[in-house]
Each structure stands twice: as structure tokens, then as C-alpha cells.
């Protein structure tokens, strides 16, 4: 199975996504913001990054830009509830920056896992 990095400043969401991934056989790593994610990825290779967009330190849009520059071709799923910003605009911007797909919070875990499998399946195709 795959190694997936879940980046979200909300511990409950991050933990729930990581546990869901582990239940279906993936290895899940966690980071609470973009800076922590980039630091972790220096020593831990991952197949997929799932990132929230609105976070302190380094937000998801900046993380996606850094990943495109430092790790071209890495697969990214963007998730967002929007916060004070329009979540549709945020998710569209994430797609322009390189996120393959996006999910609007709140979402069902089954939909999240289906999207993960779809994105990872395109890796081996």
C-alpha cells in the first residue's frame, strides 16, 4: 500500500484521516502545517500528500507550490472548509497550483478514501 502524509492544523481531522487510511492498509504520517510537512518529507518519502489549505505557519497553497518545485510529480489532494475565505476559490487555486483533486469539508470518509484510491491508482497506470 501507499505512504500518505496528512497535513492539517486540526488534530481531530488529521487523526481521523490518518486512522481511516491505516484501516484500509496505508501507512499514514501526520503534520500540523506546511512547514512541518516539508521538514518531515526530508527524511520520510511519501506517495501522496493530503493537505488542508488554511493553516498557520505555511498554508496548503504555499505547500503545494513548494512541493511542485521541490518534488515535481508528487500527488496532492487538497481539502478545505474555507475558513473566512471562499472554499471553492481556494480549492480551484489549489488545482491550478498542482493538486490533482480536491474535497470540500465536511466530507464523508468513504468519499475521501475513494479519492485517495483513485489518485494512487493513477500512479501505477
Contact predicate 116/4, CB 8 Å: yes
Cα–Cα distance between 15 and 89 in angstroms, integer? 26
Mean pLDDT value of segment 37-64: 96
Q: Is the pLDDT of residue 59 over 50?
A: yes
Whether the per-residue pLDDT at 27 is higher than 80: the answer is yes
The pLDDT of residue 92:
92
Q: Average pLDDT, stretch 96-105?
A: 94
Q: What per-residue confidence (pLDDT) applies to 124?
A: 44
3-class state of residue 112 by DSSP: helix
CB-CB neighbours of 17 under 10 Å: 23
Q: Is 28 helix (H, G, I), strand (E, B) or coil?
A: strand
Count of domains observed in the chain: 1
User: Comparing 82 with 36, which gets the higher pLDDT?
Assistant: 36
Give residue 122's pLDDT band: very low, low, confident or very high (50, 70, 90): low
Write the CATH number for 57: 3.40.50.2300
Q: Which domain holds residue 112?
A: 3-124
Q: What is the pTM of this model?
A: 0.93
18 pLDDT above the threshold of 80 = yes
Amino acid at each position: 500500500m501507499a505512504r500518505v502524509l496528512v497535513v492539517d492544523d486540526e488534530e481531530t481531522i488529521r487523526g481521523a484521516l490518518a486512522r481511516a487510511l491505516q484501516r484500509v492498509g496505508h501507512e499514514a504520517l501526520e503534520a500540523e502545517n506546511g512547514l512541518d510537512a516539508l521538514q518531515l518529507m526530508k527524511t520520510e518519502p511519501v506517495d501522496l500528500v493530503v493537505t488542508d489549505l488554511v493553516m498557520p505557519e505555511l498554508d496548503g497553497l504555499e505547500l503545494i507550490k513548494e512541493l511542485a518545485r521541490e518534488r515535481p510529480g508528487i500527488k496532492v489532494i487538497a481539502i478545505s472548509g474555507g475558513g473566512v475565505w471562499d472554499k471553492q476559490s481556494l480549492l480551484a487555486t489549489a488545482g491550478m497550483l498542482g493538486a490533482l483533486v480536491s474535497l470540500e469539508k465536511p466530507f464523508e470518509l468513504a468519499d475521501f478514501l475513494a479519492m485517495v484510491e483513485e489518485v494512487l491508482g493513477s500512479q501505477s497506470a
